[in-house]
């Protein structure tokens, strides 16, 4: 089983002004003249963490991490009043292109999981000539059926105890309706206590259900849930995208798969992923048979689970020597 590469620190970092009053945090680590790879974090709204650098051989990769609009170290942060009207999938794709050009990178590998797989696919389908390979995990195609499964009651059949905590902030009179819409009202409330309570419950639901075997909060690597600032960005931005259907047509990422048919790809999926069930990974693989699918039989959603981590690092190792 492949394990993480040792911890490393960035050799360069900064902010890039992408317009709309937004400054995107970025960092580069590993080998300055190595193969470029961009890590696309989840959520949306999750931000990056140091361990995410460790999926890549620092002797062979130039590792780029960035925080998407409104979260992490990007400015302004949701907690500081970031404008969600300029936070859409198209904006994030444009931000990635601005960053690529800023760093002088001609083409790069795109690596992402969960929402990172959504944005990674959308970016690659928009700019296929800029992508050398795709490494995707916990596939999320942002179809309405996927949203309804996880946020409107499907997953409650597996986690009925945890589901009660997710429902808690919602008035009982609204619990039979669209819960994503109900949360949107709470998360955008002028009463900050109401918004923070809702953000904690929304984020806690995803944190608690991401692993095959439940983890204590302090064991959830890569998620800073429980920190009110993190929770607010994670929940508010994620909900904003889901209310707006990800700013994509339903099924768009499958319909446009021919745009990336020539790009080498690896899909890694936990069989017991409740957050992003395997149906989506299977549908993607059927539409894109050129990509290799690895189903991890003893894993849920999280990229830090041993089997998922193994296949992700094996994929980046295999692609490290491939020329752009």
68 within a domain of the structure (yes/no): yes
pLDDT in tens, the chain (324 residues): 999 999 999 999 999 999 999 999 999 999 999 999 999 999 999 999 999 999 999 999 999 999 999 999 999 999 999 999 999 999 999 999 999 999 999 999 999 999 999 999 999 999 999 999 999 999 999 999 999 999 999 999 999 999 999 999 999 999 999 999 999 999 999 999 999 999 999 999 999 999 998 775 444 444 565 799 999 999 999 999 999 999 999 999 999 999 999 999 999 999 999 999 999 999 999 999 999 999 999 999 999 999 999 999 999 999 998 876
Active site residue 83: no
Question: In whole angstroms, what is the distance from residue 187 CA to residue 197 CA?
Answer: 9
For the domain that residue 22 is a member of, what is the CATH number?
Answer: 3.40.50.1820
Answer yes or no: are the C-beta atoms of 243 and 112 closer than 8 Å: no
Question: CA distances (Å), 124 to each of 40, 175, 225, 317, 321, in order?
Answer: 12, 38, 30, 21, 21
Answer yes or no: are the C-beta atoms of 21 and 75 closer than 8 Å: no
- 227 and 115 assigned to the same domain: no
Tell which of 217, 243, 269 closes a domain: 243
Question: In whole angstroms, what is the distance from residue 73 CA to residue 307 CA?
Answer: 30
For residue 2 the two structure tokens come to: 């492949």
Question: In whole angstroms, what is the distance from residue 302 CA to residue 220 CA?
Answer: 9
Active site residue 114: yes
- 56 and 136 assigned to the same domain: yes
Tell which of 243, 272, 297 closes a domain: 243
Q: Which of 41, 240, 301, 311 is catalytic?
A: 301
3-state SS class at 137: strand
16 within a domain of the structure (yes/no): yes
HEC secondary structure over 77-140: CHHHCCCHHHCCHHHHHHHHHHHHHHCCCCCEEEEEEEHHHHHHHHHHHHCHHHEEEEEEEEEC
- Rounded to 5°, the CA angle 45-51-56 comes to 110
57 within a domain of the structure (yes/no): yes
For residue 107 the two structure tokens come to: 């083409």
Domain that holds residue 79: 12-143+246-320
3-state SS class at 258: helix
- 135 and 226 assigned to the same domain: no
Tell which of 195, 211, 243 closes a domain: 243
- 301 and 236 assigned to the same domain: no
25 within a domain of the structure (yes/no): yes
Q: How many domains does the chain have?
A: 2
Question: In whole angstroms, what is the distance from residue 288 CA to residue 56 CA?
Answer: 25
| CA-wise closest residue to 140 among 11, 242, 53 | 242
183 within a domain of the structure (yes/no): yes
Name the pTM for this structure. 0.96
Answer yes or no: are the C-beta atoms of 119 and 111 closer than 8 Å: no
Q: Which of 29, 273, 280, 303 is catalytic?
A: 273
- 203 and 304 assigned to the same domain: no
- 185 and 124 assigned to the same domain: no
- 126 and 59 assigned to the same domain: yes
Question: In whole angstroms, what is the distance from residue 229 CA to residue 160 CA?
Answer: 27
Q: Which of 29, 114, 200, 210 is catalytic?
A: 114
Question: In whole angstroms, what is the distance from residue 324 CA to residue 319 CA?
Answer: 10
- 173 and 72 assigned to the same domain: no
- 77 and 194 assigned to the same domain: no
């Amino acid at each position: 089983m492949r394990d993480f590469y040792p911890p490393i620190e960035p050799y360069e970092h900064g902010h890039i002004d992408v317009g709309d009053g937004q400054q995107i945090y970025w960092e580069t680590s590993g080998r300055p003249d190595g193969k470029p790879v961009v890590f696309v974090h989840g959520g949306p709204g999750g931000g990056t963490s140091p361990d995410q650098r460790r999926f890549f051989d620092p002797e062979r990769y130039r590792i780029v991490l960035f925080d998407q609009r409104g979260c992490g170290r990007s400015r302004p942060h949701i907690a500081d009043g970031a404008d969600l009207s300029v936070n859409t999938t198209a904006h994030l794709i444009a931000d990635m292109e601005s960053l690529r050009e800023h760093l002088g990178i001609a083409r790069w590998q795109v690596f992402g999981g969960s929402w990172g797989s959504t944005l990674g696919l959308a970016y690659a389908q928009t700019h296929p000539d800029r992508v050398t390979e795709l490494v995707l995990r916990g596939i999320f195609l942002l179809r309405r059926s996927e949203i309804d499964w996880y946020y409107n009651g499907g997953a409650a059949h597996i986690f009925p105890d945890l589901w009660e905590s997710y429902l808690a902030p919602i008035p009982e009179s609204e619990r039979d309706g669209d819960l994503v819409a109900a949360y949107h009202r709470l998360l955008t409330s002028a009463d900050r206590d109401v918004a923070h309570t809702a953000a904690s419950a929304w984020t806690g639901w995803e944190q608690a259900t991401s692993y095959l075997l439940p983890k204590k909060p302090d064991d959830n690597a890569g998620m800073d849930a429980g920190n009110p600032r993190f929770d607010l960005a994670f929940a508010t931005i994620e909900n904003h995208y889901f209310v707006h259907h990800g700013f994509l047509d339903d099924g768009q990422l499958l319909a446009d798969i021919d745009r990336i048919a020539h790009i080498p790809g690896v899909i890694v999926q936990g069989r017991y992923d409740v957050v992003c069930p395997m149906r989506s990974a299977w549908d993607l693989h059927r539409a894109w048979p050129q990509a290799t699918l690895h189903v991890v039989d003893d894993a849920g959603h999280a990229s830090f689970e041993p089997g998922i981590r193994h296949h992700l690092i094996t994929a980046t190792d295999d692609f490290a020597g491939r020329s752009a």
